[in-house]
Amino acid sequence: MPMKNERPPTPFEEKVYAATRRIPRGKVSTYRLIGKSIQCESSQAVGQALRRNPFAPKVPCHRVIASSLTIGGFFGQRDGAEIKRKLKLLGEEGVRFVNGKLADLDRVHHF
């Protein structure tokens, strides 16, 4: 259920959240790959849906990174405390970034 005082997710957001739930622990996917898996061409729309994710950590939006294999955003932030938290969560799952990029391409989950 959404958090108190939140609107219910749209059908599009539900599709994004369902796809994101399929990313296993220790793997990441990209906004673009999620979009393709739900027949959406807009990575930005996927990002906006995840920005409003009221179901974290059940919907593990921290496992979604940019198509450039850089960290991307987290809860609407592109740097600072939220990005440090995203990196920490991924690090706890064994996902590492070197010089700002995903270190191990085998960690990318394809739908």
Residue 52's Cβ-side half-sphere holds a number of Cα atoms within 13 Å equal to: 16
Residue 100 domain flag: yes
Residue 2 domain flag: no
Q: Which amino acid is at 12?
A: F
Residue 40 domain flag: yes
Q: Cis omega (within 30 of 0) on the bond before 11?
A: no
| Domain ranges, residue 83 | 11-107
Residue 6 domain flag: no
DSSP-derived letter for residue 65 is E
pLDDT tens for the chain, residues 1 to 111: 455 457 899 999 999 999 999 999 999 999 999 999 999 999 999 999 999 999 999 999 999 999 999 999 998 899 999 999 999 999 999 999 999 999 999 999 999
Backbone dihedral angles phi then psi of residue 37, each to the nearest 5 degrees = -70, -20
Q: Which helix (H) or strand (E) holds 18?
A: helix 11-21
Backbone dihedral angles phi then psi of residue 64, each to the nearest 5 degrees = -110, 125
Give pLDDT, residue 110.
96
Give pTM, 2 decimals: 0.92
Task: State the total domains in the chain.
Answer: 1
Active site amino acids: 61
CATH of the domain at 84: 1.10.10.10
